[in-house]
Structure 1
Amino acid sequence: MPRVFEPADRSAALIEQVREAIAARTPLRIRGGDTKAFLGRPIEARSLDTRAHCGIVSYDPTELVVTVRAGTTLAELDAVLDEAGQMLPCESPAFDGDATVGGMVAAGLSGPRRPWAGAVRDFVLGCRVVTGQGKHLRFGGEVMKNVAGYDVSRLLAGSFGCLGLITEVSLKVLPKPRAVLDIALEMSADDMVRKLVQWRDAGLPVTGACHAGGVLHLRLEGGEGSIRAAQAALGGERGDGSFWRALRERSLPFFSDPRPLWRVSVAVGAPLAPMPGDALLDWGGAQRWIKTEASAAAVREMAAGLGGHATCFAPSLTSDPFHPLPDPLLRLHQRLKAQLDPLGIFNPGRLYAAL
């Protein structure tokens, strides 16, 4: 049964747990809904649960900004925004309603709209975080200037909790589109790439393009007139939006294949090279989900050849699920870790063994 919490500020209790861990040199495994436990390296540490620290702190729809505690579920946040006719455009997966806002930022997973609207980090305006020195600091916005030239609030996006404990996040939100067109068009992946360039030049308001099984699923959002014109020009079979919800939550039949799952991220316009297995092409081909029995080395060699990187979503396949970093970049990560978490308390080794 899911646990239900009353909206509450539990930051004092979280800070105390962090300070106790610092004093005892005890590593902490930060968790919210634990919906991304499958992603990253396994770690041995005491669990620090953020879900009791939940609720909307402030929200003024006219300002397009919401501030929310880290343990708040995405489902709750989406419901509040929906009532005001607004949304968080990055479309992070809610994973059956259990994913939390803190986990969304820490994992940095973005949904189908990401190439056209932006990633999770692009909507993070500020945050409060408990550091490895036991300090509760606020970053971003006009409250506190980021130290050492780093945009700390955005650095936390995709850090998997290795830099600190997020307690509160301020997010930019946008109005929901007035009209949406969801259609399916039979075409090859190569034709998809060419058509997307033509549609972009024609000004079509594309906010989703996913190719699977010889079918391009296309989503357009905008004014009612432009959507009617697009539908007349494109044709195709009209959908009800369920495809995009299933893609966001990774619940399409493609993802139920028992073979290991990989996500290969490449630059927009990268060649559509043969994949070592079955592929689903999201983000107009820039994000390529692959189901394959190929080795980690083979998948990463293919990704590197396309100028991209590969992340393994099957923890049993490799001890290093994230693409290896070049030495200079790894050293930069290590310096950041040393600045914010000098004793290595938070999620040690979750991203890389050297962190």
Structure 2
Amino acid sequence: MSATQETAQRPGDRAATTSEEALLEQVRSALDSKTPLRIQGGNSKAFLGRAVAGQLLETREHTGIVSYDPTELVVTVRTGTPVTELLAILEEQGQTLPCEPPVFNGQATVGGMLASGLAGPRRPWVGSLRDFVLGTRVITGQGRLLRFGGEVMKNVAGYDLSRLMAGSFGLLGVITEVSMKVLPKPVTSAHLDLDIPAEKALQKLAEWGQQPLPITGACYADGLLKLRLEGGEGSVQAAMDYIGGEPLEAGFWEKLNERQLDFFADERPLWRLSLPTNTPLVELPGDALLDWGGCQRWLKTEAPAEELQKLALSLGGHATCQTPGITDSPFQPLTPLLAYYHRQLKAQLDPQGIFNPGRTYPGL
């Protein structure tokens, strides 16, 4: 029996089908009464975006693996499924989601993972979560259950609405299923500490980025450059010999991804600055931790939102507040043209504006 056949016959499929029908019925009822809906899975991303007023639509009952064929490196899963459960099933086959979505104490669901688009330390080297999405089932603002995309990488002709769902924060519809490409776990890994200044660390990362080194994690914290190497045993050992450094605890990367380092315990508001590759070291108004080889800079600061977003924009990037209640504009303000496209897309997929209204920006 194939993996696809096996998972299709697991107990709970009938209940899962019923749960999808229940979600569809709730959406249709909300459309009839023009009632806004607040979509929620594990509620582990409540710190992101603006508060939403609306009737609660929970997806946590809509769980389970629909199909999984390890030989094809494709899994289809219902969006109420905990991310930890999905990762455990992939682990059994020596596979994983390379972009390392955070699980936030096991509360994160697959739907929230997709809707937020969050990725971990490996993201600059393997791609974003969006890059692994093949297809989705979505309840639209017309009260229809539609399938977008497919289960093969080549099925991306035309406008790719499935990948558009990544980072949409529930504004475009209720995602009920997602098909994703998975990959084998690395054969071996090594973790290094290098005692060098931050400016030199960024210079070294730019230099190493031009070489075939198996770097899949680069963070500057506590005055040290922390590196993760992953791949074949020979390539990892050769990179270790070339780079040098001291051993680093492997658990550092999980703590970074789950925001469990001491840096994140600081009571000041947390901001995330997403910047272009090879952005030089700049003075920031607070304490910073450099991730993604310097492209992602976490900042603990009391500085005003406008100042931080203006600074990020001047560097070619954007700033996002990760602490709720600090500002009514937690996401970088959109340019007029981008705002127009956002409104047009929202109007097409959610014409009554019932899905997570205002989660990202007022009026959306």
What's the TM-score, normalizing by structure 1?
Answer: 0.95
Retained in 2: the 8 A contact 1:139–1:146?
no
Aligned to 1:245: 254
Letter in 1 for 2:66: V
Q: CA deviation at 1:196?
A: 1.5
Aligned to 2:327: 318
Letter in 2 for 1:62: T
Following the alignment from structure 1 to structure 2, what is the Cα–Cα distance between the partners of residues 33 and 314?
18
Aligned to 1:270: 279
Aligned to 1:304: 313
Aligned to 1:29: 38
Letter in 2 for 1:66: V
Q: CA RMSD in A?
A: 1.6
**1:293-344 CA deviation, whole Å, 9 max, x = no partner?**
1010111111111011000011211011000000111110111101100000
Following the alignment from structure 1 to structure 2, what is the Cα–Cα distance between the partners of residues 271 and 202?
19
Question: Does 1:20 find its partner at 2:29?
Answer: yes
Partner SS for 1:352: coil
Percent of residue pairs bearing the same amino acid type: 60
Q: CA deviation at 1:6?
A: 5.6
Q: 2:109 aligns with which of 76, 85, 100?
A: 100
Correspondences of 1:211-230 after superposition (within 5 Å): 211-230=220-239
Correspondences of 1:55-204 after superposition (within 5 Å): 55-141=64-150, 149-204=158-213
Following the alignment from structure 1 to structure 2, what is the Cα–Cα distance between the partners of residues 109 and 316?
20
Following the alignment from structure 1 to structure 2, what is the Cα–Cα distance between the partners of residues 241 and 274?
30
Letter in 2 for 1:267: P
Aligned to 2:346: 337
Retained in 2: the 8 A contact 1:106–1:156?
yes
Q: CA deviation at 1:240?
A: 3.4
Aligned to 1:46: 55
Retained in 1: the 8 A contact 2:276–2:316?
yes
Q: CA deviation at 1:190?
A: 1.3
Retained in 2: the 8 A contact 1:59–1:66?
yes
Partner SS for 1:331: helix
Following the alignment from structure 1 to structure 2, what is the Cα–Cα distance between the partners of residues 344 and 146?
27
Following the alignment from structure 2 to structure 1, what is the Cα–Cα distance between the partners of residues 267 and 210?
40
Retained in 2: the 8 A contact 1:160–1:351?
yes
Following the alignment from structure 1 to structure 2, what is the Cα–Cα distance between the partners of residues 38 and 339?
28
Question: Does 1:290 find its partner at 2:309?
Answer: no
Following the alignment from structure 1 to structure 2, what is the Cα–Cα distance between the partners of residues 102 and 258?
29
Partner SS for 2:178: strand
Retained in 2: the 8 A contact 1:271–1:306?
no
Following the alignment from structure 1 to structure 2, what is the Cα–Cα distance between the partners of residues 38 and 307?
25
Retained in 1: the 8 A contact 2:74–2:151?
no
Q: 1:208 aligns with which of 199, 202, 217?
A: 217
Q: CA deviation at 1:146?
A: 8.0
Q: CA deviation at 1:197?
A: 2.6
Following the alignment from structure 1 to structure 2, what is the Cα–Cα distance between the partners of residues 156 and 351?
14
The runs of 5 or more residues in structure 2 that have no matched partner are 1-10
Following the alignment from structure 2 to structure 1, what is the Cα–Cα distance between the partners of residues 322 and 337?
26
Retained in 1: the 8 A contact 2:151–2:179?
no
Partner SS for 2:293: helix
Q: CA deviation at 1:142?
A: 6.8
Retained in 1: the 8 A contact 2:285–2:301?
yes
Following the alignment from structure 2 to structure 1, what is the Cα–Cα distance between the partners of residues 51 and 172?
17
Retained in 1: the 8 A contact 2:137–2:175?
yes
Assess, with a 3 A threshold, how the Cα gap between structure 1 residues 30 and 146 changes in structure 2: closer, same or farther.
Answer: farther
Following the alignment from structure 1 to structure 2, what is the Cα–Cα distance between the partners of residues 245 and 263?
18
Retained in 2: the 8 A contact 1:146–1:152?
no
Letter in 1 for 2:169: F
What's the TM-score, normalizing by structure 2?
Answer: 0.93
